[in-house]
Amino acid sequence: MKILLAHAYAGIGHKKAAEAIRDALAGFEEVELTTVDALDYTNAFFKFSYPRVYLFLINRVPLAWGFLYYLLDLRAVDVFLAPMRRLVHSLNAKRFTRLVLEKDPDTVVCTHFLPADIVSGLKRKGLFKGRLITVVTDFLAHSFWMARASDYFIGAIERTRQDLVRRGIKEDRVKVLGIPCEPKFGVSRDRRQLIKKLGLDDGPFNLLIMGGGFGTGPVKKIVHAIYDIEARTREKLQVIVICGKNQRLFEELSKKKSDPGLRLCVFGYMNNIDEFMEAADCIITKSGGLTVSESLSKKLPMIIIQPIPGQETRNCRILTGYGTAVRANTVGQVIDHVKDFLSFPEKIIGMRARINLLAYPDAARAIAGFVARGKIEQ
């Protein structure tokens, strides 16, 4: 079976989801797999601008991004603009179209709506006869995800299925298998051994702070605010900061490691995030689909800081609704939640228990089995 696995690098999550499915498919001998970034098969200007415009909007003008996100998700607006969007995609991604037609795979799997939209158009025109499987990497979809010629949609949770059905997708075309992340996030490890391996102290409440691969968000402000917590509460904490590729943040926080009164451990870009999540009691992070999936797989309660209007606020609403996360719009609210968890540890226990309602730690393997053999691997 020939499978084309396509994503688009507009944020790391879609790529990571594709890589997780790729690795899971490696165990199927009957599969001939090709994995591509669809943007590599677009013209130079489109490839350059596509992710940068998105990242500029969410990082610099998030309210404008949120307005556009919800506006473009309105049915009346989408009906008018969808043909224009498809035309823009087809004109700028002619090489991706040729790739699909030349390889003529049995199945195309997409973890981003751009390649899904293009292949869906090919199916509507009768130019591509294979299967199209669209993997939605957030809890709730958006009109952009509606590649309606898809044979199947993979949803994160039951709520995702309901949302897709509400948007006109037939229920039997939706499979709830979770958001795929690397299989290692579904593997439990000895926590004490990991704490020792990572050079952490055993005993304190481990608070993990992450700002994504680029160390964005008010990470430094949160750390500074933790220093202002009363000493008897602060001494119960061990703060672990993953700075990602933000070298400036790493250097600034590293200077504070020697300051008295707080156990502070600072790391740069790490490839063993699963180990840090296993060692942590709680994580302060954004609510992007992949980070959420990884945290859920590790049964790690979340403090979601300043979710970006749009997909992040939707994900946050689902998580807080299930009681698996709390939301903080300000650094002060982050500190209040941390104090609350330290004073009432039973809240963390309850959140871990409720995570089972949302977690799909074997999502990548389940999706791979469905793609390769038409069934969910046990």
- Give, for 177, the enclosing helix (H) or strand (E): none
Contact 12, 212 (CB under 8 A): yes
Domains of the chain: 2-179+361-373 (3.40.50.2000), 184-355 (3.40.50.2000)
Sign of CA dihedral 114, 120, 122, 128: positive
- In tens, the pLDDT along 290-341 reads 889 999 999 999 999 999 999 999 999 999 999 999 999 999 999 999 999 9
Residues 6+ apart with CB under 8 A from 57: 64, 65, 68
Q: Residue 287 and residue 292: Cα distance in Å, rounded?
A: 6
pLDDT of 213 reads 65
Produce one character per residue of 62-101: b if its CB has 16 or more CB atoms within 10 Å, e if not: beebbeebeebbeeeebeeebeebbeebeebbeebbebbe
Q: Residue 138 and residue 148: Cα distance in Å, rounded?
A: 17
Task: Extract the tokens encoding 27.
Answer: 């165990």
User: Cα dist. 305→172, 209, 287 in Å?
Assistant: 36, 10, 8
Residues 6+ apart with CB under 8 A from 236: 204, 205, 342
- Please tell me whether the overall predicted TM-score, pTM, comes out greater than 0.85 for this model: yes
- In tens, the pLDDT along 18-59 reads 999 999 999 899 899 999 999 999 999 999 999 899 888 988
pLDDT of 99 reads 98
CA 9 to chain centre: 13
Task: Extract the tokens encoding 336.
Answer: 């209040």
Among 172, 133, 93, 135, CA closest to 3: 133
Among 52, 120, 60, CA closest to 85: 120
- Give, for 230, the enclosing helix (H) or strand (E): none
- In tens, the pLDDT along 230-250 reads 999 999 999 999 998 889 999
- Give, for 255, the enclosing helix (H) or strand (E): none
Contact 242, 217 (CB under 8 A): no
Q: What do you get for the CA distance between the two ends of the chain, in Å?
A: 21
pLDDT of 127 reads 98
Mean pLDDT for all residues in the chain: 94
Contact 133, 109 (CB under 8 A): yes
Task: Extract the tokens encoding 58.
Answer: 């969410």
- In tens, the pLDDT along 93-117 reads 999 999 999 999 999 999 999 999 9
Q: Residue 69 and residue 84: Cα distance in Å, rounded?
A: 17
Among 162, 106, 115, 123, CA closest to 139: 162
Sign of CA dihedral 273, 275, 277, 281: negative
CB count, 10 Å around CB of 280? Answer: 25
- In tens, the pLDDT along 107-165 reads 999 999 999 999 999 999 999 999 999 999 999 999 999 999 999 999 999 999 999 99
Task: Extract the tokens encoding 361.
Answer: 């730690």
